[in-house]
Every structure is written in C-alpha cells, then in structure tokens.
Chain A
Amino acid sequence: MFAVGIDIGSTASKAAVITEDGVIASKAIVPIGTGTVGPARVFAEALDRAGIARSDVKWITATGYGRFSFEGINDQKSELSCHAKGISHLLPQVRTIIDIGGQDIKVMRINEKGTLVNFVMNDKCAAGTGRFLDTMAKVLDVSVMDLSGLSQRAEEPAEISSTCTVFAESEVISKLAGNVKLENIVAGIHKSVAKRVASLVQRCGIEQQVAMSGGVALNKGLVHSLEEEIHSRIYVHEDCQLAGALGAALYAWDHLQPA
C-alpha cells in the first residue's frame, strides 16, 4: 500500500512515493510541467524507482499549478499547504518558508505542526519568479543552471530593476551593450529577484528559522543574495525541489491512516 504525491508545476513535474510505514520510497523530477507529458512521465518514473505497479498505489494527491488536470488522482491540495507540510517534514525547526516557483513567489509562515499561519503570494506578475530567471538566462545566452556559479564570481552586482520582467530584460540588454561583465549582470539579476522576494517576506513577517523550497533554492547565488536582503540565514534541504510533492505524498499518506 503506497501513497503518492505529485507536484505539477508550470516548469517542472515532481513526484514522491511513501510506503505504508511512512518512509519515502522514491522521488523523481522531470523538467517539464503542466500541459506536457511531464506529469505522466514523473509519475511513471517515481513508481519505477520504488519498484511498484500502479495497482500498488492506494492514494494519489496532486498539487501545483496543474493539479486539476492530472487524471487518476484521488484528491488535490494547494501548493501552499503542500510546501508547508513538506518543509515541516524535511526541516522541522523551520517557521518561515520561501518558495520561488516557475510563475509565482510564495512566502509562508507555519507553526510547529506544519500548518500555515500566514502566507503571501505574488499575483499575475512574472517579476522575481523562476520564469524571470529563465527569461534572463535566455537573454544572456547561458543555462539557468549556470547562473549560480556566474553570480558567485561577480565583483560588483549590476543595478537591475525589480519591478517588471520586460523592463528588466531591456536593462540587461542595455548592460550587455555597455560591456558590463556577464558575472556582474547575473549577480544584479539575483539581487533584483532577492529585493522583490524580500518585500513579500517583509509583508508576511519572518520567524526563525527560514528555509527555501522549490528548484530555485538550488541556485546558491540567489540564496546568498536573498540572505543579504532579509538579513537571515536561509536553510536549503537537498530535496528542496521535492518539498511540494513530498507534502502532497504526506497528505495522501494521512488519508490511508485509520481514523
């Protein structure tokens, strides 16, 4: 009897499988999200890694932007609740969570049970999101995976707007035309994202400890910039990108427990 959580984001799909005893049996990430074959692939991959068949799965909980569109699920939960539950499981001391997703930024405050006590989330605007970083990487003709290393070699971050992706793109092109070092531009982009996220953190309020979830948390350069902006250490678990899927899997597991 297994429980599965699947997090269908706008840019990636993640899944986690939990055994009857509450042990994580497998995890999988596919770098394409809702509206693609990503969700089906990540689900198959997670089952394959756990060495189980579809018939062994008793409950599937979906989360993420594409949570309504995946067939065969038993229920769905908001990504805010799932990230809260997932991070609370991975890092129990954490009370403030920052998640930079593909198209939104979430800041959550949780209690010792992993329940949300407050949250702030941006609305229809790409500034400061993972999509913003993707766009900037394309303009700079580098892989988004390389942004972290580049920014750590910067001497002085360039000044980049934090208000609008489109304006920021023009600014980056202008910096390139002005022969500003690539490393400094990338550090400026991280600073710009960090400022944007920090304003949401201020609105939500900080309670120690602070952690980041989601794939963007793997970008050490950005995490460092954000630490400077919010004046706090940020904890990043190695499974940060799976926090939403893990939270969903834990919700699914809860369903299988006797009342």
Chain B
Amino acid sequence: MSDIKALLAQFDEISGNPRKMLGEYLANGEKVIGCFPVYTPQPLVTAAGLVPIGLWGGQVNPQVSGKYSPIFTCSILHSCLEYGMSGAYQGLSAALMPILCDTFRGTSAAWRAGVKDIPLIVFIHPQNRKDPGALDYMIEEYKSVKTALEKIAGKEITNRALANALTLYNKRNAAMREFCALANEHLDLITPVARHHVMKAVTFLKPEKAVEMVGELNKALKDQPVCKWTGKKVILTGITAEPDDLLVSFTENKVAVVGDDLAQESRQYRTDYPSANSALESLALQWLEIRGCSLAHDDNNTTRGKMLVELAERTGADGVVLCMMRFCDIEEYDQPYVIKMLQEAGLLAFSVDIDQSTTDSGQARTKIQAFAEN
C-alpha cells in the first residue's frame, strides 16, 4: 500500500510540475521538443534522441496572449500561447503543432508572431482519411517533421531507430491501458484525481520512463485486494478534465471515474502503431486507424457515441460526463450526437465547462452532485 501511495505521489509531482521536468531534461544536456495536443509524432522525437514533452497549457488567466489571440480562442491553445509568450516554455528547442482544427491554424500564426525563441514545426493531418492518398499525404507531412527534427538533433532518424521507438510507444500504450483496467479494480486507491495525474504525468515523461513507472504501479495494484465500489461510476469524454477541483467533486460525491475518452488521456494511448512496410508508414497509419475522436473526421457520426456506450457497458458506468473545453467548436459539434446515443442507451449524460482561465468549478460541482443524488 505504501508503495502505491509513494508511486502516486511521484505522478502527482510530475503532473503538477512540467516546468520542473523540462528543467531537469535541460540540466541533463538534453534537447526537448514541446508537443501540442494531440497526435504529434512523438516516436520521431524519441528516435532523434530528443525528449518529447506535452504542452497542455494550464490554469492561467491570460495576460499577454491577448495581443494575438482573441478571447474566444479555445481555452487550451490560449493558455499554451500565454505560456509560450510569457517564457514558461523557455528552453524548448522547438514545438510540434498539428493543425487539427481552425484554432490551431490561427494559433500557429500567433505563436510565430509572439514566441520568437521557440521555433514551431507545423504539420497537417489529412482529414479525409478514406482517400487512398491520405496515407501518402501523412507520410509526406511526417517526412517534413522528420527533417526538421534531424536538423535540431544533428543526426539522421533511421528506419531502425524509428521502428524501435514505435515498439517502445506501443509498450507505453499497453501499460496505460493496463493501468486503466487495474484502476477500475481499485477505485478506493485510484481516485479521479490520482487517475488523471498518472495519465497526465506520462505526457511529460520519456516513454521508457513511463513504461517503467506505470509498470511498477500496475504491479503494485495487482497485489492489492479488489475493491467493491458501491458509489456511482462515470466515464469522462472531451479534451481534458481539469482542474483538480473538478475531479475532487466526483470524490466528494462518491462518484468514481471508470473510463475516459479524453484527448489528454486515453485517446493518446488507445491506438497502437500497426505493422507496416516501413516505420514511417506505421507512424502514418496510426492516424488512419484512430476512431471516435472529435479531432479525426469520421463520416459516421455515431462512432464516438457507440464507443462510449460500449465503454459504459464494459465498465458498469452509470453516466457520461462531457468535459466541454471552452470555445472548442469541434467538441461542441459532436455533443448532440453523442448525448442522443448515450441517452438512448439509458445513460445519464451531462456536460461541464472546462475553462483554463478560471479555477471556479461551482456549476460543474452542482451538476456532479445532482448526478450523484439521483
């Protein structure tokens, strides 16, 4: 038990102090690449001998980013730009930015104007993923990222190095999926906050370190007796579920998080890099295999709803909470379809507003409490 507490404390520390992690990497003489959310080709970064670190913004009231970013910019990109402009990300050798929505496009220009010391490596995921040319397009985009990273690393990224990195990331994904499954057997130990901290901390860790730490936690969890949870259970879906106060509201109301479909959490770990003719092709193929994500276009608008209903059935969830990133239009568009399918499946579904510019979670707290009471 003390092992688990000590391990969880480490994840808490990492999750809450990405700047400290960046400092440690830099002090070690390593070059670090910031990775905007989500689906950045991190295996390329690792294969180049560089360190990838997630850029998730944070709870900050934007002060300087307003120069380039309108107030209705989605909360997470607004805070990332704020941190970039205010120096919080200083030391990064570059930042990788996928243009997954219109806000990314605008933010890429704002970043170039406002963040002079961190070069931006921009690439585009093809949204028409059924087109035969989509794979070639993705490979070409990743080739341009590869070239930029090789310049920073001062060395070539070989097919073998990338293949090894893909294997490592698949191991990490497996460890994370195992953690999610084990967490559901130990809901007394893995609170919503603890679960989130593990998932988020991994985005700041080197993949080999993540495999090691999560593997250790999984081993420790397996040694504990299974907990019979008597409270309600929910699944979280959206981009992120922060700040911690929001997650504490679940614990206060005896509601456990038994699964997630969050871009910051499980969406990153649920699609492996498949076998392919080359490592670069495998890297690109992963994008074509992603399902049920608002950031990856799908002609079938029932995919995400179906996945959530299945996840709820598998985990025994009573409801689904849609964590709506403020001003995230793509998540807003998905909401009606998803809610309809969840309600038809007899699940209670409600949304909470995720806004990184304020720490007030009063209305979300009321909704979570109402869910628990009824």
Interface residues of A (CB under 8 A from B): 65, 77-81, 84, 104, 115-124, 203, 205
Contact = CB atoms under 8 A, between A and B. Distances in A.
A54 to B, nearest CB: 27
Contacts of B348: 117-118
A104 B324 CA distance: 17
B352 A81 contact: no
Given A65-B362, A104-B363, A203-B339, A81 B374 contact: yes
Interface of B: 324, 326, 336, 339, 343, 348, 350-353, 355, 358, 360, 362-364, 366-367, 369-370, 373-374
A194 B353 CA distance: 22
A65 B365 CA distance: 10
Contact of A119 (B336, B350, B364): B350
Contacts of B360: 124
Listed residue (B326, B362, B373, B374) with the most chain A CB atoms within 10 angstroms of its CB:
B374
A209 B151 CA distance: 67
A122 B373 CA distance: 19
21 contacts: A78-B366, A78-B369, A80-B367, A81-B370, A81-B374, A104-B363, A116-B370, A117-B374, A119-B350, A119-B370, A120-B350, A120-B351, A121-B350, A121-B363, A121-B366, A122-B363, A123-B352, A123-B363, A123-B364, A124-B358, A124-B360
Contacts of B355: 123-124
Nearest to B350: A119
Given A77-B373, A119-B367, A121-B350, 16 more contacts: A78-B366, A78-B367, A80-B366, A81-B369, A84-B374, A117-B374, A119-B370, A120-B350, A120-B351, A121-B367, A123-B324, A123-B351, A123-B353, A124-B355, A203-B336, A203-B339
Contacts of A123: 324, 351-353, 355, 363-364
A81 B367 contact: no
A205 B339 CA distance: 11
Contact of B363 (A116, A118, A124): A124
Given A120-B350, A123-B324, A124-B353, A80 B362 contact: no
Contacts of A116: 370, 373-374
B374 A115 contact: yes
A78 B352 contact: no
Listed residue (B336, B350, B370) with the most chain A CB atoms within 10 angstroms of its CB:
B370
A104 B363 CA distance: 8
Contacts of B373: 77-78, 81, 116
Contacts of A120: 350-351
Listed residue (A65, A78, A116) with the most chain B CB atoms within 10 angstroms of its CB:
A78
A223 B212 CA distance: 61
A203 B326 CA distance: 18
Nearest to B357: A124
Given A118-B348, A124-B353, A124-B355, A78 B370 contact: yes
Contacts of B350: 119-121
B342 to A, nearest CB: 10
Contacts of A119: 350, 367, 370
Contacts of B352: 123
A84 B363 CA distance: 17
A60 B260 CA distance: 37
A110 to B, nearest CB: 9
Contacts of B336: 203
A24 B278 CA distance: 76
B369 to A, nearest CB: 4
A202 to B, nearest CB: 9
A217 to B, nearest CB: 20
Nearest to B352: A123
Contacts of B364: 123
- What are the nearest 10 A-B pairs in CB distance? A123-B353, A80-B370, A78-B369, A116-B374, A78-B370, A81-B373, A78-B366, A115-B374, A81-B370, A123-B363
A117 B353 CA distance: 21
Contacts of A77: 369, 373
A121 B370 CA distance: 11
A126 to B, nearest CB: 12
A124 B353 CA distance: 7
A117 B319 CA distance: 11
B108 to A, nearest CB: 27
Nearest to B368: A78
Contacts of B358: 124
Nearest to A104: B363
A70 to B, nearest CB: 15
B343 A118 contact: yes
Listed residue (A81, A115, A117, A205) with the most chain B CB atoms within 10 angstroms of its CB:
A81
A205 B363 CA distance: 21
A104 B352 CA distance: 13
A84 B339 CA distance: 21
Contacts of A79: 366
A19 B370 CA distance: 26
A121 B360 CA distance: 16
Contacts of B366: 78-80, 121
A99 B198 CA distance: 39
B252 to A, nearest CB: 11
Nearest to A202: B336
Nearest to A84: B374
A122 B353 CA distance: 9
Contacts of A81: 369-370, 373-374
A120 B324 CA distance: 13
Nearest to B348: A118
Contacts of A115: 374
